[in-house]
Amino acid sequence: MPNPVHEPPRAMNDARPPAAAATAPSPMRQSYRDALREALRAALHADPRVFLMGEDVGRYGGSYAVSKGLLEEFGPERIRDTPLAESAFVGAGIGAAIGGLRPIVEIMTVNFSLLALDQIMNNAATYSHMSGGQIHVPLVIRLATGAGRQLGAQHSHSLEGWYAHIPGLRIAVPATIDDARCMLAAALASPDPVLLFEHAALYNLEGERTPGLTAVDIDHAAVRRPGRDLSLITYGGSLPKCLAAAERLAEQGVDVEVIDLRSLRPLDDAAIMDSVRRTRRALVVDEGWRSGSLAAEITTRIVEQAFYDLDAPVARVCTAEVPIPYAKHLEDAALPSPERIVAAVRGVLGRGEAG
């Protein structure tokens, strides 16, 4: 297994005075895209077995510019452009992982992953089980997911809930700058395949990164905003919308707790139930379609495990059950929004109609 990624040590001739050296470093501002690129660079430096492969990841620098400059730095053996053949290059990644390497496979958008679904579900997810634990597939697949950028119905899917249905896979969803920077190292340390879903609307997001943080726990949820009146449970690209809704609700005297799931398989039931038992109300925000959604699974688990702690039925805000429209006003109407989340929270609290 690869060693944990660490920041390079400070030079021996660093002449800063002791007081300055002892001062806690200030948070640094960084974009989600740059945090992902830094994570890739750190992984490639830390372990010679790591390589990146996918469509346009090399000379073009990645469809979302995440791998820009890495070909020049690491060369074509470790930054490999592939043909437009998802099943072929995901299969090659599976074989490389079984053979002892640590491949990172980039699938340009999540809808293209359906062309490699047989490789992901019938091979990567099953080898450990079918071999009695003798064969592991330490493969990381990065996928851009989500809607909101007027790319039409064929390029606006949120299918992470589908993949969370499959035993043998680990599903992680970085929604913050810290997680964008640090989840890759944790994923590469896993002996089993990990799918990292990066919401495409987050690539331009900027925020503060914790200095020196190089590792995070990809198995557990995080409380992004503590509150007492309701648990707002979400992940990925919906996290900024939930935080914005929480701020608006605070102005109305409503204090909601925002839970970032971070991992969709395994789900952190303990964190979800702990929050729900404290606030006694829950709303799940999921960009997937409502029918058969991850939100439905979370709602059911809350009912199974914390039913008698609830003061109101669990509610959901999901994407409208339509192919995502191209027209901007229709796309916005189909997706979860801060306005819909605020209305739904007020509905759960009995202060207005749920939206």
- What is the full per-residue pLDDT of the chain (355 aa) written as tens digits? 334 333 333 333 333 344 444 455 667 899 999 999 999 999 999 999 999 999 999 999 999 999 999 999 999 999 999 999 999 999 999 999 999 999 999 999 999 999 999 999 999 999 999 999 999 999 999 999 999 999 999 999 999 999 999 999 999 999 999 999 999 999 999 999 999 999 999 999 999 999 888 889 889 999 999 999 999 999 999 999 999 999 999 999 999 999 999 999 999 999 999 999 999 999 999 999 999 999 999 999 999 999 999 999 999 999 999 999 999 999 999 999 999 999 999 999 997 654 3
**Is 3.40.50.920 the CATH classification of the domain at 222-348?**
yes
H or E segment at 133?
none
Residue with tokens 């729900």: 276
Query: Which of 94, 247, 108, 260 has the alpha carbon at shortest distance from 175?
Result: 260
**Is 268 within 8 Å of 317 (Cβ atoms)?**
no
Taking the mean position of all CA atoms in its chain, how far away is CA 69? 23
Give this prediction's pTM. 0.90
Residues marked active site are found at 86, 155
How do the domains of the chain map onto residue ranges? 29-209, 222-348
**Is 3.40.50.2300 the CATH classification of the domain at 29-209?**
no
How far apart are the C-alpha atoms of 105 and 72, rounded to whole Å?
19
Asked if the domains at 29-209 and 222-348 fall in one CATH topology, the answer is yes
Look up residue 26 and give its two tokens. Answer: 């200030």
